[in-house]
Amino acid sequence: MTDRPDSVPPLIVEGLNFRYQSRPEQALYDVSLTLARGELLLIAGASGCGKTTLIRCINGLIPRSYKGELTGRVLLYGQEMAGLPLSRISQMVGTVLQDPERQILGAHVFTEVAFGLENLGLPRAEIRQRVDETLHYLGIAHLRNRETFYLSGGEKQKVALAGVLAMRPGILLLDEPLASLDPASAQEALALFRRLADEGVSIILVEHRVEDAMSIRPDRVIFMRDGRISYAGPLDGLADVVDYRQVKLPAPVVIRRAAADPLPVFQPALQPDGGEPLVTFEDVSFSYEAGGLNVIRGVNLTIRRGDVVAVLGPNAAGKTTLVKHAIGLLKPKRGRVLVEGRDTRELSVAQIAHTLGYVFQSPSHMLFAPTVREELAFGPKNLGYDQKTIAEGVARATEIVNLNGLEEYPPLSLSFGQQKRVSIAAVLAMRSKILVMDEPTAGQDYWNYRAFMEAILQMPGFAAILFITHDLDLAVCYANRVILMYEGQIAGDGPPAEVLADLALLQRCRMVPTSLLAANLELLAQTGRFLPAEALGHILAEREVMSG
């Protein structure tokens, strides 16, 4: 997709150091790398380790939009980037952000994809041709005339990518591009990235879903820690140099390495008891547009005390729409939703918030306060809690999601993964009876998402927890009930070991079996329930000792 010469590497980064103006610590330390034409480079590392900062240095947003102290240099096709205008850089470097909400500006898909081309002053006929070619290339031509507001998170991510590819950049920066995609769409996207690289586009893929990214055999891998490059080399060497508790590696690798670590097996506090109904859907159907297609239809389900529910399903299956009915943001067009026995049509969103606390998929929909501390205190104040209760709740939530030391930072100055944790902490501080999270692990490194999921599930006070996720392994590790949605209806509902064992059902619902699911199914007769890979390793090691 590029006709630029092969003689000069598309990207050279030399001795890059950077500190944000709003933060005391340095974000990057002496980072250097070279990206060859047609190379696919995977960059991994913990949330806040400097990956996104490096991306901003390469696409010119640092120092133009994000101010701070910058030394070192970035060369694009041999040219010092410091002397190039942002308009010129954007023709060479395309960026897809991890949060598509922050990238999409157009009201309709066609105008969104055409936006960059119009700014280049291209003729209308060429713009129309490029937009249609790109939509077709990505397999989303059917979205051409849709309003972007009504797209699912995964559809928005694909449209954001289309807007970048239509510009035909030689270098493509992908910052957590799989975060909003269902498993099948993620596989398709990864195959697309591999195809783009094979066609000559130079790609930097920043991704926490390392196991997924490994499937397309990146040409090289960089692992970052605390603003520095701690590993740069072939993919096969990554597993030997990183902590398996910090990076999500294939389950067999984790099971083997965890067997040597005498750590306790995680035990959730909540257990299903089939008792008190908390939220009930009775024949619920809903459409966003008058006379439009129903996004959810004929839904009947009950969330009971002790449920830890994973809601799975492909993009646009109706998962978020379902949950927004539970919290009262949407009202059914047909049927009714009951929260603790009361019809949501009779309750305000604020009244429902005492029972259900909701973490939005996109942090930008929630965060606005000048500091993290004020952000976390806002909800409890509005629910009428006293100062002592608010302070205790803020401190507890800060500890659970690993935000200590960031309390006085502006939330929007943090990385996406840190912003996501702030949005979760803001709801934890409200002490709602039911915690509802939409894609809680999006943008999270493996260590952080395990730490806060286990802390949340061991907290007293929650009657039930519900989370929407595309991460099948999150359901395997932490849910005691799985609801599988497809085309607005419930396609499966039951214990994970039953619903996720139906591989034909998973395939129909665009769920892709993982190495962890395979290991759990293989060992289910011995373990009796699904477990994280680390726990499987410990159990197998204990049994080997006892038998031998």
Q: Measure the CA–CA gap between 175 and 189, rounded to whole angstroms.
A: 13
Lowest mean pLDDT, pick from 73-82, 415-424, 501-510, 528-537: 415-424
Is residue 371 very low, low, confident or very high in pLDDT (cuts 50, 70, 90)? Answer: very high
Q: Are 467 and 480 in contact (CB under 8 A)?
A: no
Select from 409, 433, 534 the least CA-distant residue to 478. Answer: 534
Predicted confidence (pLDDT) per residue in 434-473, tens digit: 989 888 887 778 888 888 788 788 777 788 999 999 899 9
Q: Measure the CA–CA gap between 29 and 229, rounded to whole angstroms.
A: 8
Q: Which residues pair with 35 in a beta bridge?
A: 11
Is residue 361 very low, low, confident or very high in pLDDT (cuts 50, 70, 90)? Answer: confident
Q: Where are the alpha helices (DSSP H) in 327-479?
A: 349-353, 372-382, 387-400, 416-428, 446-457, 472-478
Q: Measure the CA–CA gap between 523 and 545, rounded to whole angstroms.
A: 17
Half-sphere exposure of 119 (CA within 13 A, CB side): 14
3-class DSSP state of 182: coil
3-class DSSP state of 298: strand
State the angle between helix axes of 387-400 and 372-382 in degrees (0 to 180), rounded to the nearest 10. 130
DSSP-derived pairing of the beta strands 277-286 and 202-206: unpaired
Q: Measure the CA–CA gap between 166 and 252, rounded to whole angstroms.
A: 40
**404 pLDDT exceeds 70?**
yes
Is residue 480 very low, low, confident or very high in pLDDT (cuts 50, 70, 90)? Answer: very high
Mean pLDDT of 181-203: 89
Q: Measure the CA–CA gap between 509 and 184, rounded to whole angstroms.
A: 9
Q: What is the predicted pLDDT for the residue at 1?
A: 46
Q: Which residues, in sequence order, are CB contacts of 276 under 8 Å at separation 6+?
A: 304, 305, 463
Q: What is the predicted pLDDT for the residue at 2?
A: 47
CA 259 to chain centre: 29
Q: Enter the DSSP assignment of 341.
A: T
**333 pLDDT exceeds 50?**
yes
Q: Which residues, in sequence order, are CB contacts of 144 under 8 Å at separation 6+?
A: 109, 110, 131, 132, 135
- What tokens does 244 get? 């398996």
Select from 346, 290, 313 the least CA-distant residue to 467. Answer: 313
Q: Are 108 and 99 in contact (CB under 8 A)?
A: no
> Cβ of 37: how many Cβ atoms within 10 Å?
20
CA distances from 359 to 107, 362, 386, 427, 439 (A): 25, 9, 23, 7, 9
State the angle between helix axes of 446-457 and 416-428 in degrees (0 to 180), rounded to the nearest 10. 10
Predicted confidence (pLDDT) per residue in 102-133, tens digit: 778 888 999 999 998 998 888 999 999 999 99
Among residues of the chain, what percentage have pLDDT more than 70? 96
Q: Are 33 and 228 in contact (CB under 8 A)?
A: no
φ, ψ of residue 515 in degrees (nearest 5): -65, -30
Q: How many residues does the chain have?
A: 548
Q: What is the predicted pLDDT for the residue at 204?
A: 97
CA distances from 122 to 89, 91, 170 (A): 17, 13, 18
Mean pLDDT of 307-326: 92
**CATH number belonging to the domain at 277-514, selected among 3.40.50.300, 3.40.50.720, 3.40.50.9100, 3.40.50.850:** 3.40.50.300
Name the residue with tokens 């008058």. 290
Q: Give the max Cα distance, the chain.
A: 76
Q: Are 428 and 61 in contact (CB under 8 A)?
A: no
Q: Measure the CA–CA gap between 481 and 309, rounded to whole angstroms.
A: 5
pLDDT: which is higher, 391 or 101: 391
Q: Measure the CA–CA gap between 214 and 187, rounded to whole angstroms.
A: 11
**264 pLDDT exceeds 70?**
no
> Cβ of 296: how many Cβ atoms within 10 Å?
26
CA 58 to chain centre: 22
CA 85 to chain centre: 32
The enclosing H or E element of 76 equals strand 68-76
Q: Are 171 and 201 in contact (CB under 8 A)?
A: yes
Check: pTM over 0.85? Answer yes or no: no
Q: Where in the chain is the domain with CATH 3.40.50.300?
A: 11-242, 277-514
Enter the CATH code of domain 11-242: 3.40.50.300
Predicted confidence (pLDDT) per residue in 17-28, tens digit: 999 987 888 999
Q: Measure the CA–CA gap between 108 and 144, rounded to whole angstroms.
A: 8
φ, ψ of residue 414 in degrees (nearest 5): -85, 170
Select from 347, 482, 384, 331 the least CA-distant residue to 339. Answer: 347
Select from 80, 78, 112 the least CA-distant residue to 96. Answer: 112
Half-sphere exposure of 309 (CA within 13 A, CB side): 29
Mean pLDDT of 314-332: 91
- What tokens does 1 get? 């997709």
- What tokens does 196 get? 């783009």
Q: Measure the CA–CA gap between 316 and 159, rounded to whole angstroms.
A: 14
CA 537 to chain centre: 27
